[in-house]
Amino acid sequence: MTHPKIAFVGAGSVVFTQGLLADLFAFPELRHARIALHDIDADRLTTAEAAAHYIARELGADARITAHADRRAALTGADFVINIVQIGMGDATRTDFDVPARHGLRQTIGDTLGVGGIFRALRTFPFLKQLGDDITEVCPDAWLLNYTNPMAMNVQYLTRATGLDRVVGLCHSVYWTMQDLAKLVDVPYEEITYRAAGVNHQAWVLRFEHRGTDLYPRLDELIARDEQLRRRVRVDMYRRLGYYPTETSEHSAEYVPWYLHHDSEIDRLRLPVGAYLGIVDDNVAEYRRTRDALAQGAPLTVEGTMEYAPQIIHSIVTGTPRTVYGNVPNRGLIDNLPAHGVVEVPCLVDANGVQPTHAGALPPQLAALNRTYLSMNDLVVRAALDDEPRHIRHAAMVDPATAATLTVQEIWRLCDAMVRAHGELLPPSLRATLAEVTDS
């Protein structure tokens, strides 16, 4: 694999594409890669192509860069496929917040669990089926590296609906959590050792050490002295559960029933309800700045992001061994979580590909939370696989934050409103409105 072909699907997510390309071209062995960019938005695709050429020049890469409106053309012969598609873009995300808010449901990020996560998944699944079928036909040996949320639901659906087995979901939450923890306890990141496992956005730091010494007691001392640290959801969860969660407080608050339903907890833990919509606006503004800078010949900032996909590609191409965190079907990796679920565990990577490692059993209180998460995921995936719209409502009923806030009748009415709002973005079999069934 002298000059691997790497296809970017959803390359119009220009800022993220830029970071990944900067990471790729930082490896001398990948500077001659073939980069195929695909997006259905012509303007964004043109911008992504111009940015890719700029980054290649800046980093001295002699990559062959092509842009394709046709997805299959981009995929043909690919060794790696990086999926960063967001179906519906910012308008659909705004719907994911605005409609639940009108029904009394609070969300902070809305991309993984909850009503926002459910409907983000349902509008993404039809695309994933098409992508998986294309990969099977035109690049069956490719590794599919998925960044699109909701991560665990998407990976579960992909592997169930398409039969692809070279699929791994990638998220930076474990890496950045450990960076933050290392800073908190004032130990260089390069000197800590750690192990985490669980599910995406709700994995747990099971081991946190410096030269064989447990760093959790030092973290406990810091938390005891610092009231502001205690005003973080993830710190509150750590103090009660005994293990630090690997996602931000904004994310973590949505996956449990304890926080968003209570005004006092929102105030105590400084939860930014609906704040993600500001991030959506910022992303659009950043894209426009990049587009305008390229059109004017102005310089771009070229910065690496330490993402896992470039590291995986480098390891497979060169045989360099690494450990990354990946989201993969459980299949016995975590003993006390369902086999059908997608879990986040350490994965060895080398010329043999991505090889998940056995994590054993989680502490029971952690497994209990993860099982609820995976049960909700499974219902959403089954809704799509079985063409069963009732499972959408069942998933919302199982979701902890939704169930803590709304009655079952309110949940069904909210799901009807979401189905109507997303309309043709959803598979036809799932567009039924069902709340009237329980109105009699």
325, 346 Cβ separation under 8 angstroms? yes
- pLDDT tens per residue across span 280-315: 888 888 889 888 888 888 888 888 888 999 999 999
All structural domains of the chain with their residue ranges: 5-171+298-314, 173-268, 370-433
Q: So what's the pLDDT on residue 380?
A: 98
- pLDDT tens per residue across span 374-401: 999 999 999 999 999 999 999 999 999 9
Phi, psi of 146 (to 5 degrees): -100, 130
Question: Which of these is catalytic: 3, 32, 103, 172?
Answer: 172
Residues paired with residue 205 on neighbouring β-strands, in sequence order: 196, 244
Strands 244-245 and 202-210: antiparallel
For residue 52, how many C-alpha atoms fall within 13 Å in the half-sphere facing its CB? 30
- The verdict on whether 358 is a catalytic residue reads no
Query: What averages of pLDDT result for each successive group of 10 residues across the chain (440 residues)?
Result: 91 88 95 96 94 93 96 97 93 94 94 96 97 97 97 97 96 95 96 98 97 97 95 96 95 95 94 86 87 86 87 97 98 96 98 97 98 98 97 98 96 97 94 71
Residue entry with tokens 């192990």: 195
Q: So what's the pLDDT on residue 305?
A: 84
Phi-psi category of 205—alpha, beta or left, where left has phi over 0 and alpha has psi -120 to 50? beta
What is the CA 31 to chain-centroid distance, rounded? 27
- The answer for residues whose C-beta is within 8 angstroms of residue 170's C-beta and 6 or more apart is 145, 146, 147, 307, 308, 309, 312, 324, 326, 327
Phi-psi category of 175—alpha, beta or left, where left has phi over 0 and alpha has psi -120 to 50? alpha
- Closest C-alpha among 245, 246, 248 to residue 269: 248
Residues paired with residue 146 on neighbouring β-strands, in sequence order: 83, 169
Task: Give the angle 331-337-339 at the CA atoms, nearest 5°.
Answer: 30
Q: So what's the pLDDT on residue 439?
A: 52
Q: So what's the pLDDT on residue 438?
A: 54
Class of domain 5-171+298-314: alpha beta
> Helix H segments across 253-337?
263-268, 276-296, 308-318
Distance CA 135, CA 324 (A): 24
Helix (H) or strand (E) run with residue 154 in it: helix 151-162
3-class SS of residue 51: helix
What string of DSSP letters covers 291-303? HHHHHHT------
Q: So what's the pLDDT on residue 274?
A: 82
Give 202: exposed, middle or buried? Use CB within 10 Å, 0-12, 13-18, 19+.
buried
